[in-house]
Amino acid sequence: MEFSLTIVSDLDTVLDNTRGILWTIFFNRLFGPITPKNDYFLGVPYPKVVGATALEDLINSEATSMVKSLTDSPLSQDAAVFKSSIAIKFYERDRHAVCWETWTLRVNVINNRRYPAAPGERHDLDAYREVFENNLMEICDVVDAHKSHIPAITSMETSPFPYRILRQDSSGNSGTASVEYVATTDAGDVIVQSAAANTGVYGEEILRNGYNFIKKMLSE
């Protein structure tokens, strides 16, 4: 099955925002014994797992690499919005490695360093918080409503199914870098694809329309 979410943040909040969404998805797909704990994005709690060092390193690395790949390109310096897409795929543990679930995250990052807010203000933090809360609720609703597609769980491992995280920019370009490495002892791996940012809109539109601009991105 396939599910999709839209993340909206600026450069100051996108790391924690993306980490929170990734953690919430994985938390609901770790079927073995775990010890939960909370972390927070703009005061909103989301679930994590105590002692899941490899997964935490993977999530931190992926979120950091996403922002770096979008902002490091010379073509991206005047971009108003950076766009990326992240897919989390879960596979059956057999020789066919059938993908049984995909989560696609459409990430929209407002370039608040190029188009800063007025002195003493921050770019739509309430809007980012609201979108984040809605994404958490959507994940909870999805995992509660759709269970029949989950393969039989035959082990007590924390992560009984292999998974992949794939990323590329919104234009579909594979970029200049492609890295593949083993991320966990449960045979999960990650593919990172870097690409230039897609500008798409102008900063003046952000400043003029504020939250209406964010709502427009969510509807795309």
Q: Per-residue pLDDT tens for 114-151? A: 777 666 666 588 889 999 999 999 999 999 999 999 99
Indicate if the pLDDT at residue 10 is higher than 50. yes
Give the predicted TM-score (pTM) of the model.
Answer: 0.76
CB atoms within 10 A of CB 37: 12
Q: Tell me how far CA of residue 217 lies from CA of 67, 97, 154, in angstroms.
A: 18, 34, 41
Closest by CA to 105, choosing from 124, 126, 89, is 89
The whole-number average pLDDT for the span 5-10 is 94
Report pLDDT for 156.
82
Closest by CA to 22, choosing from 65, 75, 78, 68, is 65
The Cα–Cα gap between 151 and 31 comes to 11
- Give the chain's largest Cα–Cα span: 57
* Alpha helical stretches, state H, the chain: 14-27, 53-71, 125-145, 203-209, 211-219
Give the β-pairing of 189-193 and 178-182: antiparallel
- Is the distance from CB of 163 to CB of 104 less than 8 angstroms? no
| Helix, strand, coil abundance in the chain, percent, nearest 5 | 35, 30, 40
Structure tokens at 67: 């922002």
CATH number of 2-219: 3.30.900
The Cα–Cα gap between 176 and 181 comes to 17
- Give the chain's end-to-end CA distance (angstroms, integer): 21
Report pLDDT for 40.
97
Domain boundaries, the chain: 2-219
Average pLDDT, the chain: 76
Structure tokens at 69: 């790949």
